[in-house]
């Protein structure tokens, strides 16, 4: 092979790897998202911590549930322990709003989670 052909093939491979990496990262969240939860006369803070394709729910400083999530367009599907939630993700991925949830978790419908800066 000629030197130019080898360089062209190498450049195509590098561009392909970078493109795939950017596409794959666009379907991931990273960091902590918090919300104020209001139940009856009480208020508490809920945190959802995302890493890779996993999510951990933290309430009152303690891990309460673990699960997985998927992003499809602006829809965020979460499966935490035995319940499922659907949320609408903002374009900049800095917040999402719970649109539907099962069981008692359904009380969180309409709750906005916002990404903690620096996390």
**Domain range annotation of the chain:** 30-115
- Architecture of the domain made up of 30-115: Beta Barrel (2.40)
- Residues contacting 96, CB < 8 A, separation 6+: 33, 76, 87, 88, 89, 90, 112, 113
Q: For residue 98, which of 42, 40, 55, 51 has the smallest C-alpha distance?
A: 55
**95: confidence class by pLDDT, cuts 50, 70, 90:** very high
Query: Taking the complete model, does pTM exceed 0.85, yes or no?
Result: no
Cβ atoms of 60 and 44 within 8 Å: the answer is yes
Higher local confidence (pLDDT), 90 or 11: 90
Average pLDDT of the segment spanning 71-96: 91
pLDDT at 9: 58
Token readout for 42 is 């009480």
Cα–Cα distance, 89 to 98 (Å, whole number): 9
- The 3-state DSSP class for residue 105 equals helix
């Amino acid at each position: 092979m000629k030197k130019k052909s080898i360089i062209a093939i190498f450049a195509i491979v590098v561009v392909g790897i970078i493109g795939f990496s950017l596409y794959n990262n666009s379907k991931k969240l990273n960091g902590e998202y918090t919300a104020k939860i209001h139940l009856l006369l009480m208020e508490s803070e809920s945190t959802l911590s995302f890493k890779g394709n996993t999510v951990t729910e933290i309430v009152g400083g303690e891990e309460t549930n673990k699960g997985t999530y998927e992003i499809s367009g602006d829809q965020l599907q979460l499966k935490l322990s035995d319940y499922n939630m659907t949320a609408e993700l903002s374009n900049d991925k800095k917040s999402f709003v719970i649109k539907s949830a099962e069981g008692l978790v359904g009380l969180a419908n309409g709750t906005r989670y916002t990404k903690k800066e620096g996390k």
